[in-house]
Amino acid sequence: MLLTTTTTQTAAAHQRARKAMPLGVTSNFRYTGDTTLVIKRGQGAYVWDMDDNQYIDYRLAYGPVLLGHADPRVNARITAQLERGNLYAHTHPLEIEVAEKIIQLHPGVERVRYANSGTEATMHALRLARAYTGREKIAKLEGAYHGNHDYALWSTANMAHNSGGSPRSPIPVPQSSGMPAAARDLIHILRFNDFEMAERLFRDRGYDLAALIVEPIMGTATCLLPEPGYLAHLRQLCDRYGVVLIFDEVKTGFRIAPGGAAEYFGVTADLYAFAKALGNGFPVAALGGRAEIMDIIAMAQVVQGGTYCGNAVGTAAASAVLDAIMQDKVLDLIRQRGERLMKGIDDILTEQGVRHYLSGVPAVFGFVLEQKKDKPLEYRDVANSNFQLYGDLAYALRARGVDVEPDPREPFFLSAAHSEVDVDETLNRFNDALKAVLGK
């Protein structure tokens, strides 16, 4: 049964948007051609388009909406703050409180500074690493995304298939026109889970590297997990060559465990970037890490900050999210629901005889279909899967009121508002959608 039968008003709103904004969206990732959605409201685990079609939401604004849309705990904290204003050109108590909570929750964080987006947080982390080491080059993983700035927008999961060069010596591929060629000289590309390649780069160039920036779970490459010992291997190499290890926890932070990937995998970095789940959808981000490095952000040493950094609405939202993690144990709930969903998807794909591989953790996971390699280990293995079939399945799900990204590289996100009933209903619709796509 098709649930989202009418989309006329949504399509009209998108046409109107196209006249005012390129492609009618504020981020190219939100554009899906004629099927681009315009969403007028969200509540709990659901969003509604302009035609009042309801969708069970597994995109959750690309991850931030940890507690569910319009969560009353977050709304109450923000509303109380709004009475008192938002920005003061001075520190206010919520900033202190939230920084203390992050330090309490996260095993690798001794100091915190705020930003407004994941992009800003990774950009500041890289500058800090350069200032601390006196070196300029950085290394990143092929297929990883660290935000929009020119330093790291290389060899992301959006690069054209087979454009990354030899598997032994990948080349940096820019994701955008307009990026200065000079930035290319500052970057080295590694492949995820390739122990030997990391060893080789560090042996040859280790003393030129300021930082190695890593998404501990490959959030835009189907949530591939690090192989046992891989993160520890990177940690050891960074220690040996004096390189700052940065965990980009923009997707994993405050989602996969209270102490993020550092807690989950038992490996600490030197610096961390946080955003997304920290604010449940409100723009707040943070940079954190070891005091020895963070404390060089001192007057006239390393510039970090910005007009809106630490704004009271963002930190009020963060304060409510961190309380929900600490007091209401929401991450346990999310994990249980995610386990149920992952297992259900795995069972349905197996029953229908579709070759697949599920990766990630219950709070954020992905899967590829008809992949060439049994177990994908790195971005290129994900790229070698059936994107068309996945996209068809995603659109068939959307037509049945389940919103997922039509691209296997982007994950399913779970929120604390997704009930067991929502998950079971999703699985019913998943079964129907898959059968429809397979022509059964």
Ligand X SMILES: Cc1ncc(COP(=O)(O)O)c(C=O)c1O
Active-site residue flag, 230: no
* Closer by beta carbon to ligand X, 151 or else 430: 151
Residue 288 contacts ligand X per CB under 6 A: no
To the nearest whole angstrom, how small is the minimum distance from the Cβ of residue 4 to ligand X? 26
Regarding 119 and contact with ligand X (CB under 6 A), the answer is yes
156 belongs to the binding site for ligand X (CB under 6 A): no
* 276 catalytic residue (yes or no): yes
Of the candidates 101, 140, 251, 276, the residue annotated as catalytic is 276
Q: Would you say 7 or 156 has its CB closer to ligand X? A: 156
CB-based contact 284:275 (threshold 8 Å): yes
Residues in Cβ contact with 204 at an 8 Å cutoff, skipping those fewer than 6 apart:
none
Residue of 251, 255, 340, 398 that binds ligand X (CB under 6 A)? 251
Ranges within 252-281 binding ligand X (CB under 6 A): 275
Q: Which of 248, 270, 381, 392 is catalytic?
A: 248
Binding to ligand X by residue 62, rule CB under 6 A? yes
Nearer to ligand X, 158 or 236 (CB): 158
Q: Catalytic residue at 373?
A: no
Q: Which of 44, 143, 147, 258 binds ligand X (CB under 6 A)?
A: 147
The span of 91-99, 133-141, 146-154, 288-296 binding ligand X (CB under 6 A) equals 146-154
Quick one: 158 or 352, whose CB is closer to ligand X?
Answer: 158
Give the C-alpha separation, 55 to 57, whole Å.
6
Judging by beta carbons within 10 Å of its beta carbon (0-12, 13-18, 19+), is residue 319 exposed, middle or buried?
A: buried
**Bridge partners (DSSP) listed for residue 387:** none
Q: Which stretch binds ligand X (CB under 6 A): 88-96, 183-191, 246-254, 318-326?
A: 246-254
Nearest CB to ligand X, comparing residues 62 and 430:
62
Decide: 321 and 280 in contact? Cβ < 8 Å. Answer: yes
Which of 146, 188, 335, 380 touches ligand X by CB under 6 A?
A: 146
Site for ligand X contains 4 (CB under 6 A): no
Q: Does 225 bind ligand X (CB under 6 A)?
A: no
Q: How many residues bind ligand X (CB under 6 A)?
A: 15
- C-beta contacts of 75-79 below 8 A and 24+ residues apart: 76/320, 77/316, 77/317, 77/319, 77/320, 78/282, 78/313, 78/316, 78/317, 78/320
Closest separation in Å from C-beta 219 to ligand X: 5
Q: Which residue in 46, 58, 114, 145 is the catalytic one?
A: 145
365 binding ligand X? (CB under 6 A): no
* C-beta of 264 vs 430, nearer to ligand X: 264
Rounded Cα gap, residues 102 and 311, in angstroms: 16
- Please report how close the Cβ of residue 250 comes to ligand X at its closest, in angstroms: 3
**Shortest distance, position 333 Cβ to ligand X, whole Å:** 23
Q: Which of 4, 117, 415, 426 binds ligand X (CB under 6 A)?
A: 117
Note whether 334 binds ligand X by CB under 6 A. Answer: no
Nearest to ligand X of 147, 172 (CB atom): 147
CB atoms inside a 10 Å sphere around CB 89: 5
Q: Can you tell me which of 57, 95, 215, 392 binds ligand X, judged by CB under 6 A?
A: 215
Contact criterion met (CB below 8 Å) for 260 and 277: no
Distance CA 106, CA 325 (A): 12
Which residues are part of the catalytic machinery?
Answer: 145, 248, 276
Q: Which residues bind ligand X (CB under 6 A)?
A: 62, 117-119, 122, 145-148, 215, 219, 248, 250-251, 275
